[in-house]
């Protein structure tokens, strides 16, 4: 069945968390290879290696050079790719491991969050032609100045999808530690249901609202190149979730999934002069530092003075605070408040486009659970609320129940 099909497989950290698991992955790769598939296998770093490396760096310097951080973080994936190639050799499979730079993944210069500009895939193509299984260290590439750059947390998903696009693969399989995409994180909601398929748009919204199971940018690329994508478990042979352009139009559920993220923090700038150009100045400074802003709320102005709050990824907090403090000085605003004890809970579903009363139902469910809403943002197919961090999981459970998922 797989004969001559080109398949890109990606194995996440827990799927290759120890030697036993790496051997299991080698066994799965073997079963595809035996059936004649051509394989490119992208790996993440083993277990929580990346977190550990970040902690090491922070022990040396709380605000390490991003270039050096990338030098350090990229080693995690290099270790697992070499080990998997060795495990494949042991099974008699001709395999070769490469780093991102070695397989021509060219990125922009934004260390720790680099974007892929192009892939010069000749080296992979010739290794495949020689009959080899190609193992690629995920999460990394090389800038046009020949520096190593990483692709943002969860970036091995992006490596896999981008390679699948560049190589025109027949299928891209994302192997992880759950059996697919669920209506909510199955570790939080025990009754969450596995979805047999989901559209790119819904997956994009779930990912960008915090469903860690797929990196947002990977879903964007998969959508753009219409890559056949499946998310499934490396611990079982169960069918996973297919991510596709259009879901079959059966009954549209209003809400498809609930997400939670505790990775964001809230920054509030107090006493911003309420006059044209202030928001532009603030967000110009933040964007020049490549800081991604998520939600933004501006309060009602009193005596031509207002407060502006926004959320950012915690990992970008030192950079964001430095930029914010600089701009506060320039525009003559008041103080800067930083709050890490927040969580963002979201409901996502294409069916929301055609239904009214969804926001009301969400807010009512949160109110019943005695959860205060601090910020709200909406898109065509999602609504997000920022709440206290300690109430985040409770909020997910309450919403999962309220929307009968
Ligand atoms: P990997 O190391 O394989 O990349 P991740 O930890 O990045 O795995 O992503 C898998 C995790 O995503 C799961 O263990 C699960 O807890 C979490 N997750 C969050 N939301 C969802 C969801 N809607 N469906 C499935 N998993 C989810
Ligand atoms: N190892 C990297 C991370 O932990 C990349 C990945 O797992 O996809 O973010
Ligand atoms: Mg991941």
Domains and CATH numbers, the chain: 6-177 (3.40.1160.10)
Give the 3-state secondary structure of residue 174: strand
Q: Whose CA is nearest to atom 21 of ligand 1?
A: 185
Count Cβ neighbours within 10 Å for each residue of 271-291 and write b for 16 or more, e otherwise.
Answer: ebebeeebeeebbebbeeeeb
- Position in ligand 1 atom list of the atom nearest CA 156: 4
Q: Choose one of 18, 44, 185 to mutate for the ligand 1 pocket test, by most ligand atoms within 8 angstroms of C-beta.
A: 185
Torsion of CA 82, 180, 259, 48, to 10 degrees: -20
Q: Whose CA is nearest to atom 9 of ligand 1?
A: 213
Is the beta carbon of 152 within 6 A of some atom in ligand 2? Answer: no
Give the 3-state secondary structure of residue 13: helix
Q: How far, in Å, from the CA of 13 to the mean position of ligand 2?
A: 7
Q: Choose one of 13, 44, 172, 176 to mutate for the ligand 1 pocket test, by most ligand atoms within 8 angstroms of C-beta.
A: 176
Q: What are phi and psi of 325, to 5 degrees?
A: -65, -35
The per-residue pLDDT for 320 is 94
Neighbours of 235 (CB within 10 A): 15
Q: Whose CA is nearest to atom 4 of ligand 2?
A: 50
Residue 323: both structure tokens together: 């930029």
Cα 337 from Cα 325, distance rounded (Å): 10
Is the beta carbon of 100 within 6 A of some atom in ligand 2? Answer: no
DSSP string, 69-132: HHHHHHHHHHHHHHHHHHHHHHTT--EEEE-TGGGTEEE-S-TTSPPEEEE-THHHHHHHHTTP
* Per-residue pLDDT at 395 exceeds 70: yes
* Residue carrying the six token digits 């009959």: 131
Q: How far, in Å, from the CA of 365 to the mean position of ligand 2?
A: 34
Mean pLDDT of 166-183: 97
The per-residue pLDDT for 245 is 87
Cα 372 from Cα 389, distance rounded (Å): 11
- Position in ligand 1 atom list of the atom nearest CA 215: 7
Contact of 132 with 96, CB cutoff 8 Å: yes
Q: How far, in Å, from the CA of 180 to the mean position of ligand 3?
A: 12
Is the beta carbon of 257 within 6 A of some atom in ligand 1? Answer: yes
> Using one digit for the tens of pLDDT, what is the confidence trace for 199-244?
999 999 999 999 999 999 999 999 999 999 999 999 999 999 999 9
Q: Choose one of 137, 155, 160 to mutate for the ligand 2 pocket test, by most ligand atoms within 8 angstroms of C-beta.
A: 155
The per-residue pLDDT for 252 is 67
Give the 3-state secondary structure of residue 379: strand
- Nearest Cα residue to 50 out of 95, 12, 101, 104: 12
What integer best gives the mean pLDDT of the chain? 94
Residues bordering ligand 3, an ion, CB closer than 5 Å: 12, 154
- Position in ligand 2 atom list of the atom nearest CA 151: 5
- Position in ligand 2 atom list of the atom nearest CA 159: 8
Which of 152-156, 229-233, 238-242, 288-292 bottoms out in mean pLDDT, i.e. has the lowest? 288-292
The per-residue pLDDT for 216 is 95
Contact of 382 with 348, CB cutoff 8 Å: yes
The per-residue pLDDT for 248 is 62
> Using one digit for the tens of pLDDT, what is the confidence trace for 332-389?
889 999 999 999 999 999 888 878 889 999 999 999 999 999 999 998 889 999 999 9
| Contact partners, residue 393, CB within 8 Å, separation at least 6 | 188, 260
> Using one digit for the tens of pLDDT, what is the confidence trace for 245-276?
876 666 667 899 999 999 999 999 999 998 89
Q: How far, in Å, from the CA of 268 to the mean position of ligand 2?
A: 30
Contact of 381 with 353, CB cutoff 8 Å: yes
CA count, 13 A, side-chain hemisphere, 62: 3
Q: How far, in Å, from the CA of 405 to the mean position of ligand 3?
A: 24
Q: Whose CA is nearest to atom 12 of ligand 1?
A: 213
Mean pLDDT of 136-159: 97
Contact of 232 with 241, CB cutoff 8 Å: yes
Is the beta carbon of 45 within 6 A of some atom in ligand 2? Answer: yes
Residue 382: both structure tokens together: 């999602």
Q: Is the dihedral of CA 365, 368, 370, 375 positive or negative?
A: positive
Cα 261 from Cα 217, distance rounded (Å): 16
Is the beta carbon of 185 within 6 A of some atom in ligand 1? Answer: yes
Contact of 26 with 60, CB cutoff 8 Å: no
> Using one digit for the tens of pLDDT, what is the confidence trace for 78-132?
999 999 999 999 999 999 999 999 999 999 999 999 999 999 999 999 999 999 9
The per-residue pLDDT for 249 is 61
The per-residue pLDDT for 355 is 82
CA 131 to chain centre: 32
Cα 169 from Cα 131, distance rounded (Å): 16
Judging by DSSP bridges, how do beta strands 229-233 and 241-244 pair with one another? antiparallel
Q: How far, in Å, from the CA of 153 to the mean position of ligand 2?
A: 5
Cα 257 from Cα 254, distance rounded (Å): 9
Higher-pLDDT residue of 315 and 362 is 362
């Amino acid at each position: 069945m797989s004969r001559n099909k080109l398949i890109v497989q990606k194995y996440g950290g827990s799927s290759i968390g120890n030697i036993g698991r790496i051997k299991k992955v080698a066994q799965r790769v073997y079963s595809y290879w035996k059936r004649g598939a051509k394989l490119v296998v992208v790996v993440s770093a083993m277990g929580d290696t990346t977190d550990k490396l970040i902690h090491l760096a922070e022990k040396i310097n709380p605000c390490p050079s991003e270039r050096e951080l990338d030098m350090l973080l990229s080693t995690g994936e290099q270790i697992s790719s070499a080990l998997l190639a060795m495990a494949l050799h042991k099974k008699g499979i001709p395999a070769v491991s490469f780093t991102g730079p070695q397989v021509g993944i060219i990125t922009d210069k934004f260390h720790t969050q680099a974007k892929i500009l192009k892939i010069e895939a000749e080296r992979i193509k010739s290794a495949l032609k020689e009959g080899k299984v190609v193992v690629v260290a995920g999460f990394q590439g090389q800038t046009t100045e020949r520096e190593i750059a990483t692709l943002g947390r969860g970036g091995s998903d992006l490596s896999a999808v981008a390679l699948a696009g560049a190589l025109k693969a027949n299928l891209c399989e994302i192997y992880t530690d759950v059996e697919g995409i669920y209506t909510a994180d199955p570790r939080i909601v025990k009754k969450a249901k596995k979805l047999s398929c989901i559209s790119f748009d819904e997956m994009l919204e779930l990912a960008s609202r915090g469903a860690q199971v797929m990196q947002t940018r990977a879903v964007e690329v998969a959508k753009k190149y219409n890559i056949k994508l499946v998310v499934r478990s490396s611990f079982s042979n169960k069918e996973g979730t297919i991510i596709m352009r259009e879901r079959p139009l059966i009954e549209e559920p209003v809400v498809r999934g609930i997400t939670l993220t505790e990775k964001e923090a809230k920054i509030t700038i107090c006493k911003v002069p309420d006059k044209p150009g202030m928001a532009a100045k603030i967000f110009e400074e933040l964007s020049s530092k490549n800081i991604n802003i998520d939600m933004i709320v501006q309060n009602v102005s009193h005596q031509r003075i207002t407060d502006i709050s926004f959320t950012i990824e915690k990992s970008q907090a030192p950079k964001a605070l430095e930029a914010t403090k600089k701009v506060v000085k320039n525009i003559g605003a008041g103080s800067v408040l930083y709050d890490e004890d927040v969580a963002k809970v979201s409901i996502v579903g294409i069916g929301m486009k055609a239904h009214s009363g969804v926001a009301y139902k969400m807010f009512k469910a949160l109110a019943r659970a005695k959860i205060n809403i601090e910020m709200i943002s909406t898109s065509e197919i999602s609504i997000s609320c920022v709440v206290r961090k300690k109430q985040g999981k409770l909020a997910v459970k309450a919403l999962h129940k309220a929307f009968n998922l």
